[in-house]
Amino acid sequence: MVRPTQQLHPAREPVPVRAAATVMLLRDSEAGIEVLMTRRSGTASFAPGAYVFPGGQIDAADEAAKRIAAQRPTQSGTQLTQAIAAIREGFEELGVLLARHADGRPVSAQDIASMDRSTTSPVSFAEQCAARGLVLASDQVFSFAHWITDRDLPKRFDVPFLVARMPEGQTPTADESEQFEPCWVRPADALARHAAGGFFMIFPTVRTLQRLAAYANVDAVLQACAPRDAAEKPLWTSCPRAGLLGGQDARYMESDSPYGELALVCPDGQLLHALDWQTERAVPLLRNVQRLTAPNPSAMTGPGTNSYIVGNPAAGYIVIDPGPNDVGHVDRLWRATEGNIRMIVCTHSHADHSPGAALLQALCKVKPPVLGLSSAPTARASARFAAERELLDGERLQLCGTTAEGRRIEHTLRAVHTPGHAANHLCLVLEEDGLLFSGDHILNGSTTVVDPPDGDMNAYLDSLDKLDAACEAGGIDFILPAHGYVIGSARTAIAQLKAHRLKREAKIAAAMRRLPQGTPEDWLPLAYDDVPERMWPVAARSLAAHVARIRQLASTP
């Protein structure tokens, strides 16, 4: 866990969330699935003017209405209350009533017309339904998504996005106070109109419609949401985070690559961190960690190679991966540390990581040692590196100092040998703050190339297991890769990466069985059919590593 003293921004308590519910009413059309949306009032306190699905806060009356609500065996009490609230809001805002008579007859237009939709009615919604012998069709309302409002916003909700089929014979009519202009729209059309600036929607609505657009019809949606066991769950749960991109607010789900970085830098949702990639200035991630990205963007390096600076002026600095042979980048590293560099560590010998070490060392008045693991004989000629001192597996590098306020501070980096991407690859753990500097072993936004003979897939997968154990033992939540943003939920990310590797290996093995007399060139299009063809020459390297592992496993008794 990151020390509070190293956080860049003062802690703040996000606004408490309020329980709410919303429902996506769906119907099939010749053009595909359509969803009912409506425009919120321009003076609304939350999302004014946005196109939304009907919904609102859950109140005590929704809990009391369970006595007239149908419930699935797998539907929890909380889910039932949420469904009731969504049904009530759909009735109040749009005059749509998901209910049936006790004998199973559908609700008629006359039933709905006889009821008071106003929120100030002296007779509650549940009482009106009970008086007409109606049963709420809450058993036909399913969980699609679960959203928790972003931590930076002044009004927050904990809200399931539910789905239900639009009842036949009913016509939505807006209440003209909170909601206006009800319309049926295909998800793809709503997204296109939003992108064109003519159909404003908030982030959760956009992301939900993106997922909804993948379904061919209402049956497919309801089937995807149908309970499969005693614990019904939404398809996903998200509490987005916001950063700045081009000076504007930009929001991200947990699956988006910037999410982990925002969680590290602004854990309480402070809207302060710029996500723009640039190479001129070091980016503070914590008080004791900065990132300077080299100006070498490419298909292989992403936005560029990340050099990390660990430490502070009182204790001095350790530079991790000084980068390519780029005088300007190395000079910026030197200026960011004011030359107070105690050690330089290279995670491995590749040309975008280690050549800058000698240049950076030469700039320092007191020459810091260049540490790491020297390249193996299997390394390519362009990836040669000789460490001045070899780091042992588990060896600790320590910086100690006293701040101007008299507070002693320590930064301890522990080396973890992780062969696989390269024979001489290592990672580093910042022990006091639970951070893993992963070099090229784990990347954000792409998978690591494992290029034999210096790369080895067995070693790579074993090293993933080793890093997972280190994260578990050290309470490590964040991974700082050599390419891309900080990664959060470290152990989950490692598990997903390993699963991805093994899934790819299964495709390669299937291609080998399909073409037993084939060559790697024959297997590549089959195993990497989901990868752009322009990337196949790079993928061929990892395919070779997988093939070697598959053959080794097949020959092992």
Paired residues of 106 in beta bridges = 100
**For residues 146-161, average pLDDT:** 96
Q: Which fold has domain 278-492?
A: Metallo-beta-lactamase; Chain A (3.60.15)
H or E stretch covering 211: helix 203-212
Please write the tens of the pLDDT for every residue from 364-390: 999 999 999 999 999 999 899 999 999
Per-residue tokens: 362: 């030469």
Q: Which residues, including other chains, have CB under 8 Å from residue 476's CB and lie 6 or more apart?
A: 429, 434, 435, 436, 470, 490, 491
Please tell me whether residue 439 adopts helix, strand or coil conformation.
strand
Say yes or no to pLDDT of 556 above 90.
no
Q: How confident is the model at residue 7 (pLDDT cuts 50, 70, 90)?
A: very high
* Tokens 């980048």 sit on residue: 329
Nearest-Å Rg of the Cα atoms of the chain is 28
pLDDT at 228: 74
pLDDT band at 99 (very low <50, low <70, confident <90, very high): very high
| The model's pTM | 0.93
CB-based burial, 37-72: b 16+ in 10 Å, e otherwise: bbbbbeeeebbeebbbbbbbebbeebeebbebbbbb
Residue 533: CB atoms within 10 A of its CB come to 11
Determine contact, residues 480/494, Cβ cutoff 8 Å: no
Give pLDDT, residue 118: 87
pLDDT level of residue 448 (50, 70, 90 thresholds): very high
Tokens, residue 70? 């149908």
**For range 403-414, the mean pLDDT:** 85
pLDDT of residue 230: 73
The angle that helices 203-212 and 187-195 make with each other, rounded to 10 degrees, is 140
For 78-97, the pLDDT digits (tens) are 999 999 999 999 999 999 99
At 516 the pLDDT is 95
User: Over the stretch 327-337, which tens digit does the pLDDT of each residue have?
Assistant: 999 999 999 99
Torsional sign, CA 350, 352, 353, 358:
positive
Name the amino acid, one letter, at 376. A
CATH of domain 17-239: 3.90.79.10
Residue type, 525: P
Token pair 């507070």 is found at 407
Confidence grade of residue 227 (pLDDT, cut at 50, 70, 90): confident
Is 541 in contact with 531 (CB distance < 8 Å)?
A: no
C-alpha dihedral over 195, 196, 202, 204, to 10 degrees? Answer: -30
In this predicted structure, what is the pLDDT of residue 450? Answer: 97
Residue 178 has pLDDT above 80, yes or no: no
User: What's the confidence (pLDDT) of residue 46?
Assistant: 82
Q: Do domains 17-239 and 278-492 have the same CATH topology?
A: no
Mean pLDDT for the stretch of residues 296-309: 96
Share of the chain above pLDDT 90, in %: 90
pLDDT digits (tens, 9 = 90+) for 43-81: 887 888 999 999 999 999 999 899 999 999 999 999 999
**Tokens 């042992």 found at:** 392
Taking 80 as the threshold, does the pLDDT of residue 486 lie above it?
yes
Mean pLDDT (whole number) for 352-368: 97
- Token couple for 455: 């790369």
Pick from 235, 225, 176, 190: nearest CA to 37 = 190
CB count in 10 Å sphere of residue 391: 22
Which residues are registered as beta bridge partners of 25? 164
Q: Where are the chain's structural domains?
A: 17-239, 242-276, 278-492, 502-555
pLDDT at 501: 97
pLDDT band of residue 41 (cuts 50, 70, 90) is confident
User: Residue 401's pLDDT is what?
Assistant: 82
The yes-or-no verdict on residue 557 having pLDDT over 80 is: no
- pLDDT band of residue 176 (cuts 50, 70, 90) is confident
Beta strand ranges found along 122-280 (DSSP E): 134-136, 142-148, 156-165, 179-185, 237-238, 241-245, 248-252
| 402 pLDDT higher than 90 | no
N- to C-terminal Cα separation, the chain: 43
d(Cα 276, Cα 298) in Å, to the nearest integer?
Answer: 16
Helix (H) or strand (E) holding 21: strand 17-29
Question: Does the structure show a pLDDT above 90 at 42?
Answer: no
pLDDT confidence of residue 265: 98
Q: Tokens representing 381? A: 């000629």
Q: Which pLDDT band holds residue 126 (cuts at 50, 70, 90)?
A: very high
Over range 219-227, report the average pLDDT: 93
